[in-house]
Amino acid sequence: MMKLLVATSKTQGARENDFNHCIEGELIWIAPCCDDGEDSPDSECGCSRSFAGLNSHRGTTTALVAELPDFTYFDYAEALWSSLAAQGWPADAADEVATGLLAFTAGWDVGTVLERRSEWFAERLVPAPPG
pLDDT, position 11: 95
Angle between helices 94-106 and 73-87 (to 10 degrees): 120
Give the pLDDT confidence score for residue 86 in this predicted structure. Answer: 97
Of 34-43, 82-91, 107-116, the range with the lowest mean pLDDT is: 34-43
Residues 6+ apart with CB under 8 A from 79: 27, 54
- Give 117-120's long-range contacts (Cβ < 8 A, gap of 24+): 117/41, 117/48, 117/49, 118/33, 118/37, 118/38, 118/41, 118/48, 118/49
Sequence letter at residue 38? E
- 88 inside domain: yes
Q: Looking at the 3D structure of the chain, how many domains does it have?
A: 1
Q: Are strands 120-124 and 113-117 parallel, antiparallel or unpaired?
A: antiparallel
| pLDDT, position 26 | 98
Q: What is the mean pLDDT of residues 115-129?
A: 86
Q: Tell whether the model's pLDDT for residue 37 goes beyond 70.
A: no
What average pLDDT does range 4-12 have in this prediction?
97
Work out the percent of the chain whose per-residue pLDDT is above 90.
78
pLDDT digits (tens, 9 = 90+) for 87-105: 999 999 999 999 999 999 9
Q: Which domain range does residue 34 map to? A: 3-124
pLDDT at 128: 66
Residue 41 has pLDDT above 80, yes or no: no
Q: How far is CA 9 from CA 24, 93, 100, in A?
A: 7, 28, 24
Asked if residue 72 belongs to a domain, the reply is: yes
- Answer whether residue 131 is part of any domain: no
Region 44-50: mean pLDDT is 83
Q: Residue 78 domain-assigned?
A: yes
Specify the pLDDT at position 70: 92
- Residue 8 in any domain: the answer is yes
Q: Residue type at 22?
A: C
Flag whether 98 is in a domain: yes
Q: Are 81 and 89 in contact (CB under 8 A)?
A: no
What is the mean predicted confidence (pLDDT) over 74-84? Answer: 97
